[in-house]
């Protein structure tokens, strides 16, 4: 056998086995990334965005009213639990 016949990665020989990829056809991972790019905000995202501002407001109000530490921790715990319940109560039907 000649050396050229032993080359399995020769371009012309590869085209006889595999067709060239279509440059305009999207691959599955590209389709998944495209779907993530065009997502609408859902309950989980809204809860995640609103959690930090709500915590900052709670810290400010607790300092202005002079709330003790235990009461403040209870308020923060209830606030966090409320956001978790809000986020989990909605389904994931917001995806396009």
Domain membership of residue 1 (yes or no) is no
Determine the pLDDT at residue 96. 43
Domain membership of residue 63 (yes or no) is yes
Contacts of 94 (CB under 8 A, 6+ apart): 39, 40, 41, 42, 43
Domain membership of residue 96 (yes or no) is no
Contacts of 42 (CB under 8 A, 6+ apart): 90, 92, 94, 95
Determine the pLDDT at residue 95. 44
> What does the block give as tokens for 58?
């709670």
Structural domain boundaries enclosing 25: 11-89
pTM across the whole model? 0.54
CB atoms within 10 A of CB 8: 8
Q: What is the pLDDT along the chain (96 residues), one digit of tens a residue?
A: 566 666 666 666 677 777 777 777 766 777 777 777 776 778 888 999 999 999 999 999 999 999 999 999 999 999 999 999 999 987 655 444
What is the count of structural domains for the chain?
Answer: 1
Domain membership of residue 6 (yes or no) is no
């Amino acid at each position: 056998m000649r050396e050229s016949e032993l080359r399995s990665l020769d371009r012309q020989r590869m085209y006889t086995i595999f067709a060239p990829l279509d440059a305009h056809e999207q691959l599955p991972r590209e389709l998944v990334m495209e779907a993530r790019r065009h997502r609408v905000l859902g309950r989980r995202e809204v809860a995640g965005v609103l959690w930090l501002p709500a915590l900052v407001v709670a810290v400010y109000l607790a300092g202005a009213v002079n709330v003790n530490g235990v009461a403040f921790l209870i308020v923060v715990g209830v606030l966090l639990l409320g956001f978790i319940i809000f986020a989990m109560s909605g389904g994931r039907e917001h995806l396009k």
